Structure 1
């Protein structure tokens, strides 16, 4: 039993090894660009990781493609355009501003503006109601006057109804 446990402990680390990509770059600037690009591009399969951190085979293919394009002298914009053409705007952590992403970029600000407007209107309405209530006597709730937004006939009818209710 002990030898079986010992063998399992020795073989366990072999199954947990990770693949590490080693790329040769012609200069240090390309290596820095590679690091920046692979950190900016999202893995289409993992969805939460960039292609630099992802262990998915697709991410490894994308890293190789970025390396190849960098060594061929492609500019960063061309590499990003290639990835977007192939995988859509989803591959970018910071999507470009265009007609399909306006809601994504400006929607939160519009919602914040609407929220602020609603709060301002509600507070203004409450202040106006408080000012209007301060100028009127606060009765026991049984006497309404025509100046409270009711016509004379409506105020009399309401007072009669309240009187009937209090008599019961």
Structure 2
């Protein structure tokens, strides 16, 4: 039992420390801590073209390493963060950004999530409203016929009802 608890503890420690691990290699790190911080910040904003939904800061892919080095080269050359991002967008397209810019050609990317949310809420509201009407209609229905009333109805339909 103790071995199981120890194994679970180790697995938990590894799982919790995984988000802290980055793919940046020691040979990539810049000597200036301020520039390195900028490079890491930019690397978290850029998409790995191989992994697709992972930043180049977290990716072990060769292309991600090349992009990290390119970001560091541009920073070392004196480019601002915006200039580095503009350079990479010009070279690789908007897809390289994990968070697309809010511009006319990316407007649909920004509008789809709220429109889907509003549409889903409207659909849910209509469903609940329609269901409420069905419940009200069932509540307004007359009570079922008693056995005596059913027998009288059968006699009426058969045409031999003595009572009038």
Residue 86 (1) aligns with residue 91 (2): yes
Aligned residue for 2:152?
none
Question: Using a 3 Å threshold, how does the CA distance of structure 1 residues 119 and 58 change in structure 2: closer, same or farther?
Answer: closer
Please say which structure displays the higher CA radius of gyration: 1
Alignment of 1:5-44 (within 5 A): 20-23=25-28, 25=30, 27-44=32-49
Aligned residue for 2:100?
95
Whether the 8 Å contact between 1:26 and 1:71 is mirrored in structure 2 is no
Q: Hey, what's the Cα distance between the residues in 2 that align with 1:56 and 1:120?
A: 46
Structure having greater relative contact order (Cα 8 Å, sep ≥ 6): 2
Unaligned runs of at least 5 residues, structure 2: 1-22, 146-156, 159-164
Q: Hey, what's the Cα distance between the residues in 1 that align with 2:97 and 2:91?
A: 12
Residue 110 (1) aligns with residue 115 (2): yes
Q: Hey, what's the Cα distance between the residues in 1 that align with 2:65 and 2:136?
A: 68
Aligned residue for 1:138?
143
Question: Using a 3 Å threshold, how does the CA distance of structure 1 residues 121 and 66 change in structure 2: closer, same or farther?
Answer: same
Question: Using a 3 Å threshold, how does the CA distance of structure 1 residues 19 and 42 change in structure 2: closer, same or farther?
Answer: closer
Aligned residue for 1:122?
127
Whether the 8 Å contact between 1:44 and 1:87 is mirrored in structure 2 is no
Deviation at 1:74, TM superposition (A): 0.9
Aligned residue for 1:58?
63
Computed over aligned residues only, the root mean square deviation of the Cα atoms, in angstroms, reads: 2.8
Question: Residues 36-61 of structure 1, C-alpha deviation per residue, up to 9 Å, x if partnerless?
Answer: 11222112233243223333332232
Question: Using a 3 Å threshold, how does the CA distance of structure 1 residues 124 and 31 change in structure 2: closer, same or farther?
Answer: same
Question: Residues 125-168 of structure 1, C-alpha deviation per residue, up to 9 Å, x if partnerless?
Answer: 2323433443341345xxxxxxxxxxxxxxxxxxxxxx79xxxx
Q: Hey, what's the Cα distance between the residues in 1 that align with 2:75 and 2:47?
A: 18
Deviation at 1:68, TM superposition (A): 1.6
